[in-house]
Amino acid sequence: MKKIIAQGAEAKIFLENNQILKNRFRKSYRITKIDNRLRGSRTRREAKVLDKLRIIGFPAPKVIKNDEKENLILEKIEGKLVKDVLDKNYEKLSAEIGKKIAVLHNNGVIHGDLTTSNMIINKEIFFIDFGLSFFSGKAEDKAVDLHVLKESLESKHYKVWEMAFHEALAAYRKEAKNSYETLKRLEAVEKRGRYRAKKGN
């Protein structure tokens, strides 16, 4: 029996036979040919990222089936959302998050949506939902990835976010290649964000 468990702007997530079915649904406002091409390319890209992570042994869902059009069947990861447990043990968990982001970036993978809702803790932290992921070695893309994490921590973990982000960055700095360049770029990304916010007021 198929049961919907989540829906985002791009995809519906179903639980079926203890597996995750991710369906990128059609967008009626887009020209059909363009819509089909976009959904297909994003499905293939997500599968390629997850296959790369499987090869390097990174904790993320394995691809069971890929129709290369709109559907991915993925391994179901058991455990609790990091969102629900981070505040109680933010030092250890945040350090692990920072270290694992470094592993992604060292292998040219940008997650694109680094929030604690997209992380599951079992014996270790698994990263899920690579729907916005892509391959890049650019410092700018890595910095934006970290900035998304910061904004997520600030909005969902307001009591501990500063300490949690500090722990994550400290671990990232130790493990990531060219971390100095990425963290300098992060400062520029944050300045741009503050400038836009100031302009909007």
**What positions carry a catalytic annotation?**
113
Which residue reads 């729907």 in tokens?
A: 131
Which residue reads 């090869």 in tokens?
A: 55
> What is the side-by-side order of every strand in the sheet holding 71-75?
3-7, 11-16, 19-24, 71-75, 63-66
Q: Rounded CA gap, 44 and 177, in Å?
A: 27
Are the CB atoms for 11 and 70 separated by under 8 Å? Answer: no
